[in-house]
Amino acid sequence: MAFLEGSIGVEDLVLLEPLAQESLIKNLQLRYENKEIYTYIGDVVISVNPYQQLPIYGPEFIAKYQDYTFYELKPHIYALANLAYQSLKEQDQDQCILITGESGAGKTEASKLVMSYVAAVCGKGEQVNSVKEQLLQSNPVLEAFGNAKTIRNTNSSRFGKYMDIEFDFKGAPLGGVITNYLLEKSRVVEQLKGERNFHIFYQLLAGADAQLLKALKLQRDTSGYAYLNKEVSTVDGMDDASNFRAVQNAMTVLGFSEEEIQQVLEVTALVLKLGNVELADEFQASGIAASGIRDGQGVGEIGEIAGLNSEELERALCSRTMETTKEKVVTTLTVIQAQYARDALAKNIYSRLFNWIINRINESIKVGTGEKKKVMGVLDIYGFEILLNNSFEQFVINYCNEKLQQVFIELTLKEEQEEYNREGIPWTKVDYFDNGIICNLIEHGQRGILAMLDEECLRPGVVSDSTFLAKLNQLFSKHTHYESKVTQNAQRQYDQTMGLSCFRILHYAGKVMYNVAGFIDKNNDLLFRDLSQTMWRAKHPLLRSLFPEGNPKQASLKRPPTAGTQFKSSVAILMKNLYSKNPNYIRCIKPNEQQQQGHFSSELVEAQVRYLGLLENVRVRRAGYAYRQGYRPFLERYRLLSRSTWPRWSGGDREGVEKVLGELSMAPEELAFGKTKIFIRSPKTLFYLEEQRRLRLQQLATLIQKVYRGWRCRVHYQLMRKSQILISSWFRGNMQKKHYGKMKASAMLIQAFVRGWKARKEYRKYFRSGATLILSDFIYKRMAQKFLLGLKNSLPSTNVLDNKWPAAPYKYFHRANQELQQLFHQWKCKKFRDQLSPKQVEVLREKLCASELFKGKKASYPQSVPLPFRGDYIGLQGNPKLQKLKGGEEGPVLVAETVKKVNRGNGKTSSRIFLLTKGRVILADAKKSQAQIVIGLDRVAGVSVSSLRDGLFSLHLSETSSLGSKGDLLLVSGHVIELLTRLSRAVLDATQRQLPVTVTENFSVKFKESSVAVKVVQGPRGGGDGKLSCKKKGSRCLEVTVQ
């Protein structure tokens, strides 16, 4: 009953209220969006494909579901597998698990999960593990040869599979038998757009080594094969090469010899190469159209693989022998007929190879006939199909699903009726749709559609799909579940969707229109006798064994059974098998066509719910009593609702249940008491019981909380009181001990002082008064004299750079020693300055100014310290033109050197002569020696320079009215430290203000009314010779790179 507590939506649709198609789909969507992909209908599991890996599988979950009954945990496929296995093991009842659904709904994965669960719980042992491994390893082999990528699913099973797993009396697996149904062999020669051929072809080409490919005469490129879709050669998330190795390993585990594996791969390669056999038009001497092989190389390679003469194979492909009891007639085939024969051969070879593989697997996993065994069958078969163009394949698939629906309803009703009879509950007849009329329409031995199709295939004369449709129209003109264009016209109905070559059947899941084109050919499924005989003559042992009818000794003129008859017989055997076992159902649903996780298409799911008959299933389950449970678990869950049964009940389980329900005043028609179970008619009654139980649990929880809190408070109080008493006693004792210790120490201290005072008083009369002070003063003075005399003899040199100084002999003289060291250093410095000439003093002042401006800020400063400031770097004394520029009243030129002026518009540089006097800065043309820009020092507002090894600097002007100036100047100097030092001192002397020198890599240069941002960056070589390269970045940014 755990499904009623904390669940998302309704976990069992039998309890869904209200019961309608819309509410059922909304419930599935709610659970799917919360990653709850499993839902029950009684003991039927609905599985919605999540298209992602969910953390709800593995050994931990297998162990959990193994220990609980079906309804005690959340819905899961493990719960159904456990129910089937336990019923098989404990009740000695054969089981079958029917897995149905559309392509892409997750049927194959569901069957794997069932088998993995059974393998995990069915015992251990070397022999048992070997059998389990063989059963599990059959999956990759069957998937490789029977699965393909379709538009709807990347790993779609293109055949129906029924596996009987056989167990001994202890529940250990002994082996199994696999039966396959209707392999889609037409996929071998043709695939829809966006689909692939069977996986094995791509796995072989991707995973085989070069030696194997050479032996099979194959090339790795898939585009070179006509039978493979060139648009889709790979599938996302699927590694064909590793899957091929897994298939080889699985075949080895299943007992295939190396020779058998090689032969299987050779036959597979032969099918691929058949598609590349090109046929060309030829004409006989009589002018009759014939056909021939365009290129004999492909036929020759096929002949080498098969052990055939290429001419014999060509003759079988391009001609046909018509044989009667009296004579043989050889006729040539046209190109179209020869292509049909070639494709029919390829399909037959692959189909027979697939059957051979299944038979070979059955030989490996079969059980001895003498052993008594129990059986669990797993049916993984295609679901109901309604495509845009439905043909013969969809017709037989839907016929099979009609039969399965018939089994499902009949066995469900039978199970319900048997349970009612066991419990002594009156059984009332349930009204439901009996699809027997549809099954009879298709399978009737004389007047069914399949019988008419066989009759049309066998009768002499002109036979076509149109004559077959005409016969159906005549026979079923008044059938309520059949209609066509002819029957509609007869009833004066107009249906634009109905084609002239189509008929429609009203299935239990809805109307399906079938196109009869190809029905006759697909039902005949003929392979020319020439091809069978040729294949039998092959020296390849496996290929030869696939065509026993080609043996002349076994040759028969009897027509082989049609595909429809074979499928009908297979379905009949399957139905007989299912009726003999206890059925368990897994209904798989595909939530969307795009295979996207988390996306739920209500329209698509609604169609599948209708196809699977889920609503009909729920109605059948709810026809009598919607819910039933054994007396003991029911009493254990609800006995708290009655004061008579809570908290203890000593009577019988049934009496207890009657007591509980009697006190709740339940309506008698809502209840029925069986022999071992209580039956409840409507879900509302069960929900009422759950609501009463929830309220009662809240009351009991409140009571338990009250008692628990009281007990916890009492225990806490007693602990606190006990702790407080203990802490108080220890605290008082400790306080007294400390108090006593302080008193004792004080008394001893007082005693010591008193005794000392008495002793000093007694001995004072024997000494001179003040002797101690005199002695201490003498000793201190003597120590100071010794310290100073020793310092005199150990003074360091008078070099101003020598910082050595003797340490004080006593800590008491430490401060005095520091003062003396400072005085001595100041004296040395004064003596050094007195020896300097005025010119040397000026040089040192300039170096000091440079240190204050650039020390620790500019990377090129340390290299400038030992170099003297020359000032004149252009030979000013020998150039009269340049001497005229400074004027007569300005005094000497402080700096004269050649600089580079940076153009702010494009970053290019041009040489200029830079002259600095005591009042002005002059920039002159280097060639003409004419002043271009003259700036008074009072107009210089500041200087910006970078911290790198470059000579770039900017003169920021307070006004732009100076001669020739258009704004701030951006210059490059080879002696930037000297130039800016002397400029700073000249501005200070001229204007009595300190020139602001800013060291930064990002500054702005004014230009008329706008500005340009300059950014200086270090080049990749880092720390080079300081060369610059300027690059304009947009209209307002200049990037300067220092190499």
Contact between residue 218 and residue 269 where contact means Cβ atoms under 8 Å apart = yes
| Catalytic residue flag (residue 929) | no
| Catalytic residue flag (residue 153) | yes
Contact between residue 930 and residue 912 where contact means Cβ atoms under 8 Å apart = no
Amino acid at 874: I
- Tell me which of 47, 147, 150, 156 is the catalytic residue: 156
Dihedral sign for Cα atoms in the order 603, 605, 608, 613: negative
- In this structure, how many other beta carbons lie within 10 angstroms of the beta carbon of residue 664? 14
Longest Cα–Cα distance in the chain:
170
- Tell me which of 385, 636, 890, 1001 is the catalytic residue: 385
| Catalytic residue flag (residue 364) | no
DSSP for 699-748? HHHHHHHHHHHHHHHHHHHHHHHHHHHHHHHHHHHHHHHHHHHHHHHHHH
| Catalytic residue flag (residue 385) | yes
Burial of 282 (0-12, 13-18, 19+ CB in 10 A): middle
The C-alpha atoms of residue 932 and residue 899 are separated, in whole angstroms, by 14
| Catalytic residue flag (residue 291) | no
- For residue 1007, list its beta bridge partners: 967, 1010
Q: Note every long-range contact of 322-329, with CB atoms under 8 Å and residues 24 or more positions apart, other chains counting.
A: 323/529, 323/557, 324/557, 325/557
- For residue 702, list its beta bridge partners: none
- Tell me which of 138, 147, 150, 157 is the catalytic residue: 157
Show Cβ contacts of residue 257 under 8 Å, excluding neighbours closer than 6 positions.
Answer: none
The C-alpha atoms of residue 820 and residue 609 are separated, in whole angstroms, by 106
Helices (DSSP H) in 887-955: which residue ranges?
Answer: none
CA-atom Rg of the chain in angstroms: 53
The C-alpha atoms of residue 978 and residue 863 are separated, in whole angstroms, by 12
What the block records as the tokens of 967 is: 């704004």
- Tell me which of 9, 101, 104, 275 is the catalytic residue: 104
Helices (DSSP H) in 537-586: which residue ranges?
Answer: 541-545, 563-579
- Tell me which of 82, 108, 864, 917 is the catalytic residue: 108
Alpha carbon of 279 to those of 293, 345, 765: distances in Å?
A: 5, 15, 148
The C-alpha atoms of residue 640 and residue 678 are separated, in whole angstroms, by 17
The C-alpha atoms of residue 930 and residue 947 are separated, in whole angstroms, by 33
Question: Which helix (H) or strand (E) is 113 found in, with range?
Answer: helix 107-121
DSSP label at residue 552: G
Show Cβ contacts of residue 905 under 8 Å, excluding neighbours closer than 6 positions.
Answer: 1032
The C-alpha atoms of residue 508 and residue 21 are separated, in whole angstroms, by 15
The C-alpha atoms of residue 900 and residue 952 are separated, in whole angstroms, by 9
Name which of 281, 283, 207 is nearest 243 in CA terms: 207
- Tell me which of 82, 153, 180, 617 is the catalytic residue: 153
The C-alpha atoms of residue 386 and residue 400 are separated, in whole angstroms, by 14
Show Cβ contacts of residue 150 under 8 Å, excluding neighbours closer than 6 positions.
Answer: 103, 104, 156, 158, 192, 195
Name which of 141, 89, 147 is nearest 255 in CA terms: 141
3-state DSSP percent of the chain in helix, strand and coil, to 5: 50, 15, 35
Name which of 45, 124, 118, 38 is nearest 86 in CA terms: 118
Look-up of token digits 């390893």: 137
The C-alpha atoms of residue 266 and residue 260 are separated, in whole angstroms, by 10
Q: What are phi and psi of 49, to 5 degrees?
A: -65, 120
- In this structure, how many other beta carbons lie within 10 angstroms of the beta carbon of residue 1013? 14
What the block records as the tokens of 808 is: 């004080």
Contact between residue 949 and residue 1026 where contact means Cβ atoms under 8 Å apart = yes
The C-alpha atoms of residue 1040 and residue 1027 are separated, in whole angstroms, by 10
Amino acid at 675: K
- In this structure, how many other beta carbons lie within 10 angstroms of the beta carbon of residue 583? 23
| Residues identified as active-site | 103-104, 108, 153, 156-157, 383, 385
